[in-house]
Structure 1
Amino acid sequence: MTKLLLLITLGICSILSNALSTTTPKPARVGRLSRIRASLKSEPRSRSDLKNGIAGFYDRSSKLWEDVWGEHMHHGYYEPEDREDHTQAQVDMIDKLLDFSSLDGSKISSVVDVGCGIGGSSRHIAKKYNCEAKGVTLSPYQAKRGNELAEEQGLKGKSSFQVADALSMPFPDSSFDLVWSLESGEHMPDKEKFVGELTRVAKKGSSIILCTWVHRDLEEGEELTKKEVKLLRKINRAYYLPDWCSSSDYQRIFSQNDDVDISTMKVDDWSYVIAPFWKAVIKSSLNLRSVVGLLRSGFSTIRGAYAMGLMLRGFNVGLIKFGVITVKMKE
């Protein structure tokens, strides 16, 4: 999801579409709302349903995001929090993550973007380090659009994107100097296998940078409350997500891998630096083009828009966090 910020945009569009509509009878809107609410109460999806749902959701919604916000399908970095150069803030998010990992750019010749969207991060890193970048996504639309943008930006042959499952990537072991995943880990139904793939394709001495939505860390023996679980399950239905985990869970999983240099691991909560971006995206949605784009993108996108309030609620009460985990592989 994230990627989840897209739904903030769509939520405002949904509100506007109801407010501006003069042709849709009120009973029809009520019926649509009832259908959305009912769908959020359904049973958790199977892995195959999640995979198909993710691909379909991003096939339908990525063009709307690009039309409104451009090629970077992720949050911006807001320090100071009142900055208004929003596109640059998105680029700064990439650079801040690279800095946070203490990355030596001179040693980067290859990078893989796991859950690449339309490849904004991959292309930025390819330009920054003059390296080769590859990206994987479940969305055929995103892979196609990513390759189109690479050619438009003079990166054909240096940046390429393909449809592939992040839990079974089509790359040999020890292929990349940098393994990058920005706002995609939340979609992975098997976190152990996900981390296993990140480490498998990483070269010795390489860096892994994972930035993802997580739930709050738990004390030993503590569990999420029933109210918290209920909220997360509704979000999962709307956004095609599996069960959530915490940053601590990721730390544990990485720590169990013998090829990971645990002494290099850094973990942080960047919720505070991304929160101002939501206001900016909401403001950007106040136009007819966004409304029309939403209405054309189908039920699942509209449902995601409706459910964005659930995401905001979880964020505001401290249940949902924006976690950053970086680590290096052993030499």
Structure 2
Amino acid sequence: MLTEALLLTGGLSATAFLLWKRRNRRYTSSESVAAAYDAWTDDRLLERLWGEHVHLGHYGTPPSDRDFRKAKEAFVHELVRWSGLDQLPRGSKVLDVGCGIGGSARILAQDYGFDVLGISISSAQVRRATELTPEALSCRFEVMDALDLQLADQQFDAVWSVEAGPHMPDKQRFADELLRVMRPGGCLAVADWNRRDPSDGALNRNERWVMHQLLTQWAHPEFASIKGFRQNLEVSQHNRGAISTGDWTQPTLPSWIDSIVEGIRRPGAVLGLGPKAVIQGLRETPTLLLMRWAFATGLMQFGVFRLNR
């Protein structure tokens, strides 16, 4: 079984391992997701280390030696091009589902001239996103549940969602809501952490243990597979086109180690928050290493989804 050996091989101390064993953010409801992100936002550690983009970076194909934060910005532009959002005129209305602290939304508004609404289940994220966004930018944020969007049908020219799907207990409803609010002929851009599809092989004992950790440590009810979520989109009553998918596992893979190394590159970012932040960083490191292992071995995949126009 992948237990102490895997974690300590990654360079973790016994103290960090004990901290990891005591932590748990098991999904129980949307409130548990909101509480986790409220805490991550308020302690500022994630922002200090990851910057404004609470998602992975894109390092190119093959991956290059790219700065972690620049890779995160590059990810946004890569997904814009891949999904066809760059073909939309300035002023197009875009919904960012699971907006974090607004990093992607601000790029979409500033670099592409879109009118962006970002939504998050976390009131702390919405507050921080609003604080970081210049008033002149056409970009605003609201607290909202992605499984119950309080928005009219066919309201947006594009719907954007990055790494929000793992927090959704009902993947079909998530797909339905994304497509419901998008106008006919609009653009869909979804990027998510996905598990290996059961048709490609059942999980062995070690993989089941790792999967359990990945679900319970970061408030995930379940991961969809790329095949599975593609089917959710295809069978939705709101679907009006063909769905295309891609696997961006390799170009995003360096993010996991980079997210740990940032603490070494920018020690003041952590130390400036006090001893509690150092302990918190140690608590997160095992899960980051497990994520890296899962994506490197094929247990997990980084899927991207678009609607062909």
TM class, shorter-chain normalised? 0.7 to 0.9
CA contact (8 A) 1:39 1:237 kept: no
Q: Tell me the alpha carbon deviations over residues 261-317 of structure 1, each in whole angstroms, 9 at most, x when there is no partner.
A: 343x21111011012333433332114324434843598765333332222221222
CA distance in 2, matches of 1:108, 1:270: 29
**Higher relative contact order, structure no. (Cα contacts within 8 Å, ≥ 6 residues apart):** 1
Unaligned runs of 5+ in 2: 1-6
Select which of 152, 158, 173 maps to 1:172: 152
After TM superposition, the score normalised by the length of structure 2 is 0.84
Matched, 1:76 2:51: no
Task: Give the aligned partner of residue 174 of structure 2.
Answer: 194
Task: Give the aligned partner of residue 213 of structure 1.
Answer: 193
Q: How does 1:13-32 map to 2 (within 5 A)?
A: 29=15
CA contact (8 A) 2:154 2:184 kept: yes
After TM superposition, the score normalised by the length of structure 1 is 0.79
Task: Give the aligned partner of residue 50 of structure 1.
Answer: 32
Aligned length: 298
Q: AA paired with 2:294?
A: G
CA contact (8 A) 1:59 1:140 kept: no
Q: AA paired with 2:262?
A: S
CA contact (8 A) 1:108 1:178 kept: no
Q: AA paired with 2:53?
A: H
Q: 1:93 to 1:307 in 2, by over 3 A?
A: closer
Q: 1:216 to 1:242 in 2, by over 3 A?
A: same
CA distance in 2, matches of 1:115, 1:177: 17
CA distance in 2, matches of 1:260, 1:324: 17
Task: Give the aligned partner of residue 270 of structure 1.
Answer: 248
CA distance in 2, matches of 1:302, 1:279: 14
Q: Tell me the alpha carbon deviations over residues 196-216 of structure 1, each in whole angstroms, 9 at most, x when there is no partner.
A: 110111111111111000011
Matched, 1:254 2:237: no
Unaligned runs of 5+ in 1: 1-10, 19-25
Matched, 1:160 2:140: yes
Matched, 1:37 2:21: yes
Q: AA paired with 1:245?
A: A
Q: AA paired with 1:55?
A: Y
Q: 1:89 to 1:306 in 2, by over 3 A?
A: closer
Matched, 1:105 2:91: no
CA distance in 2, matches of 1:244, 1:251: 13
CA contact (8 A) 1:114 1:184 kept: yes
Q: 1:151 to 1:49 in 2, by over 3 A?
A: closer
Q: AA paired with 2:228?
A: D
Identity %: 29
Task: Give the aligned partner of residue 308 of structure 1.
Answer: 288
Q: Tell me the alpha carbon deviations over residues 125-159 of structure 1, each in whole angstroms, 9 at most, x when there is no partner.
A: 1123322101111222221121122126x31xx11
Task: Give the aligned partner of residue 124 of structure 1.
Answer: 107
Please state how far the C-alpha of 1:39 moved relative to its aligned partner.
4.7
Q: Tell me the alpha carbon deviations over residues 198-244 of structure 1, each in whole angstroms, 9 at most, x when there is no partner.
A: 01111111111110000113327x54344423321111111111111
SS of match in other structure, 2:283: helix
CA contact (8 A) 1:260 1:328 kept: no
RMSD: 3.0
SS of match in other structure, 2:161: strand
Please state how far the C-alpha of 1:97 moved relative to its aligned partner.
0.9
